Amino acid sequence: MTNLPSPMRLYFRCPGCALVARPGSASYPAAPDGSPAWDGRPAEVRCSECGHLHWAQAADIVPDTTTSTCPREGCGNEAPCPQEAAVVTCTACHLLYAGPATADPAVRDLARATLGLHTVEMQGTLAEAKRRAGRA
């Protein structure tokens, strides 16, 4: 498969937390023509919700099957996303917000707990980095 958008513009299901979202980061082989296109070969992606680093390829893409309206005042963009998305990224203003899957209370609770735990982990990582740098 060729000429896919960057993995950062696609949705994947994280094997760490099972939530569907766009990655927080991605590392993938450059296209032969130097464009940001992705050819579907394995890409290393980091879950935006739990921070789990994993490999994804074209077969792992969760396809856009619906749209979601951005809740940011003045935006209201209709962002394409999978019905299974726990988190949606607005394609206009880049706001991350609760996706269609969070209509299910179990998914909503999992998303909140996962993001809360990841936030605590990141705060600990930052505090440790500051301590090592002698700034804490």
Is the pLDDT assigned to residue 19 strictly greater than 60? yes
The structural domain count of the chain equals: 1
Contact 88, 81 (CB under 8 A): yes
pLDDT score for 136: 58
What global pTM score does this model have?
A: 0.81
Residue 48 is assigned to a structural domain of this protein: yes
Residue with the two structure tokens 């939530």: 19
For the chain, the straight-line distance linking the first and the last C-alpha, in angstroms and rounded, comes to 48
pLDDT tens readout for residues 30-69: 777 777 778 888 889 999 999 999 999 888 999 999 999 9
| Amino acid identity for residue 43 in this structure | A
Residue 2 is assigned to a structural domain of this protein: no
Q: What is the distance between the alpha carbons of residues 53 and 78, in angstroms, rounded to a whole number? A: 29
Q: Dihedral sign for Cα 122, 104, 86, 67, please.
A: negative
Print the domain residue range for 59: 7-132
Is the pLDDT assigned to residue 2 strictly greater than 60? no
Residue 58 is assigned to a structural domain of this protein: yes
Residue 94 is assigned to a structural domain of this protein: yes
Residue 76 is assigned to a structural domain of this protein: yes
Residue 15 is assigned to a structural domain of this protein: yes
Averaged pLDDT for residues 92-100: 95
CB-based contacts of 118: which residues, under 8 Å, 6+ apart?
Answer: 49, 50, 51
Residue 50 is assigned to a structural domain of this protein: yes
Residue 122 is assigned to a structural domain of this protein: yes
Q: What is the distance between the alpha carbons of residues 52 and 114, in angstroms, rounded to a whole number? A: 11
